[in-house]
Amino acid sequence: MQKPLIVDIFIPCFVDQLAPETGFNMVKVLEKVGCIVNYNPEQTCCGQPAFNAGYFEESAEVAKKFLKDFPHADRYTVSPSASCVGMVRNAYEDLFNKNSPHFNDCLRVQKNTYEFTEFLTDVLGIEYIEGARLPGIATYHDSCSALRECQIKEGPRRLLAGVEGLELREMIDNETCCGFGGTFAVKFESISVGMAEQKVLHAIETKADYIISTDYSCLMHLNGYINKNKMSIKVMHIADVLASGW
């Protein structure tokens, strides 16, 4: 009899502080597909905010803690954020080169870290969550990190296609950035808002009830524009969608 798969989970800052239900729903789905989920309460941040702001030494200190918080070579680390996973897979190479004493730990963590939907489809081979149900029309937003840093595109769509009652419609320019980009939204507010407006209007053109994505940071940004302009379309993280109806 095959042993249950133990996975460590990494909960991003945005999810931890603003959408903890998304983290719980990811756990709900992982347990449903047979995983034993482990959460290390000592975990903090992947170091991306400091890295993107140019504070590389400070980012490296946070990243060292990340390596320490996920020490198991025989476990996958799963996160509901392609942005954080992209940081680990790509930027950590800049923080820990071959001469770094943390280089081998970096390689280990990079190899084992997966975005939630990517883990379901590419590691477990799952493209359907039994019982998932969400009546309505949805359009999917490809986050820059998922699409460009992690090469995630078809997996989330296949998972959403299996959700009972949900019709998936593609918006135009679905690979265009939503305008968040972390500190970009702060430093270039007017451009960022304009990009969010374009994304939301394209979503509305599909008659969608929901904008769904792998990244809560994108959804938070889009939801800010939606709420300010009193629009009826809603945003949902894909973990929340897959946990709906059961």
- Distance from C-alpha of 115 to C-alpha of 151, rounded to nearest angstrom: 11
């070579």: which residue's tokens?
73
Q: pLDDT per residue over 212-238, tens digit each?
A: 999 998 998 999 999 999 999 999 999
Calculate mean pLDDT across residues 92-119. Answer: 96
Q: How confident is the model at residue 193 (pLDDT cuts 50, 70, 90)?
A: confident
Q: Are 150 and 88 in contact (CB under 8 A)?
A: no
Q: Which of 167, 168, 165, 191 has its CA nearest to residue 178?
A: 191
> Within 13 Å of residue 100, how many CA atoms lie on the same side as its CB?
16
Ordered by start, the domain boundaries in the chain are 5-123, 134-242
0.85 surpassed by pTM:
yes
CATH of domain 134-242: 3.40.50.11810
- Distance from C-alpha of 113 to C-alpha of 70, rounded to nearest angstrom: 10
